[in-house]
Amino acid sequence: MNKLTRTKEVLWIIAMFGLVALALRIFLGLGATTNLTDAMPWGLWKIFNMVAGVALATGGFALAGTVYVLRLKKYQSLLKPAIVVAFLGYGVSCFSLMWDIGLPHLIWHPILPSMWNHHSFLFEVAWCVMIYFTVSFIELSPTVLEKFPQGQKIAHFLHRWSTPLVIFGVTLSTLHHTSLGSLFLVAPARLHPLWYTGAWLPFQFITSAVGAGMLTVVLVALTYAWLFNKEPDRPAVDGIARGAAVVLAIFAALRLAELTINGKWPLVFSGEWEGYVFGV
């Protein structure tokens, strides 16, 4: 039994547990399966599925912007895996979100102008996620269309418009990631002061998301090479890893600056468990 077969079996087992959890959610309801209530409507589920899950998919727009906008063609070999990760990440997050809300069959309501809530952070997030998921599908489609004679003209047309499409996708992803960080601005009582950083939140969130997304692309590239016994494109992988280190260094600088400006260092060394978790 080779590595690929073992990995598939493990993933199938995880998927089966997920299907069981989905069945329980459908038949028993959201409260019984998540232990959430109207007073505490969000928990680890929402953060894991949407906030963190979508953040790990940012490698797609980061790599696309690097290749098409900055014209750094040496990262071309990682572009398709990055777009696949973005497409799957956004798709899985949207599918998970459908079952995270109380009435899954009403998830399409933000599409209707009569249902728009312009005062909600989630309204902008919903639209940006839907549109960027569509953009990632369009970016990925030439890879499939090129395999069919009838689809080669469409693939060529999409390639010609790839740069404007990528710029549009980068804009969308930037907007909704800053908005995801802004979600917590309306809930200061829910967050410890070490994590409630006020106006710094959107910038800290997008920098951490971009850094994590770039490292996800590195992980996918190395995992693919390991599973199929191929040599990874070392210059490209190393370059993306260094870029991620720079982005995460910017994130660390933002965190340290916020702690210093707002005088929160005593909270870090207070001896409370929040300070220990923050240090980790």
Count of other CB atoms within 10 angstroms of residue 166: 23
For tokens 């920098």, name the residue: 207
N-terminal to C-terminal alpha carbon distance within the chain:
38
Q: How far apart are CA 177 and CA 210, in angstroms?
A: 9
197/255 Cα distance (integer angstroms): 9
Which residues, including other chains, have CB under 8 Å from residue 129's CB and lie 6 or more apart?
54, 90, 93, 94, 176
CA distance 23 to 225: 35
Token duo for residue 45: 């589920």
The confidence score (pLDDT) of residue 103 equals 81
Query: If DSSP codes are grouped into helix, strand and coil, which group holds residue 99?
Result: helix
Nearest to 200 by CA among 253, 258, 247, 248: 258
Beta carbons of 244 and 215 less than 8 angstroms apart: yes
Domains and CATH numbers, the chain: 35-264 (1.20.1630)
Closest CA relative to residue 225, chosen from 74, 60, 15, 81: 81
Structure tokens at 11: 């993933």
* Cα angle for residues 70, 72, 73 (degrees, 5° grid): 135
Cα separation, 175 vs 209, in Å, equals: 13
Of 85-89, 180-184, 209-213, 239-243, which range is least confident? Answer: 180-184
Tell me the two tokens of residue 49.
Answer: 């599925």
Please give the pLDDT value at position 1. Answer: 54
What's the pLDDT at 48? 76
Q: Which whole-number Å values give the CA distances from 179 to 13, 77, 202, in the listed order?
A: 35, 31, 7
What 266-271 contacts at long range (C-beta under 8 Å, 24+ apart), as own/partner pairs, is 267/192, 267/193, 267/194, 268/194
pLDDT in tens, 24-75: 988 988 888 888 777 777 777 777 777 777 888 888 888 988 888 888 889 9
SS3 state of residue 100: helix
pLDDT band at 173 (very low <50, low <70, confident <90, very high): confident
Q: Quote the tokens at residue 152.
A: 């080669």
Alpha-helical (H) ranges within 146-233 are 152-160, 162-182, 201-227
Residue-wise pLDDT tens digits, 175-190: 878 877 777 888 788 8
How buried is residue 214: exposed, middle or buried, by Cβ count under 10 Å (0-12/13-18/19+)? buried
Q: Tell me the pLDDT tens digit for each residue of 228-270.
A: 888 889 999 999 999 999 999 999 999 999 999 999 999 998 8
Residue 43 structure tokens:
């928990």
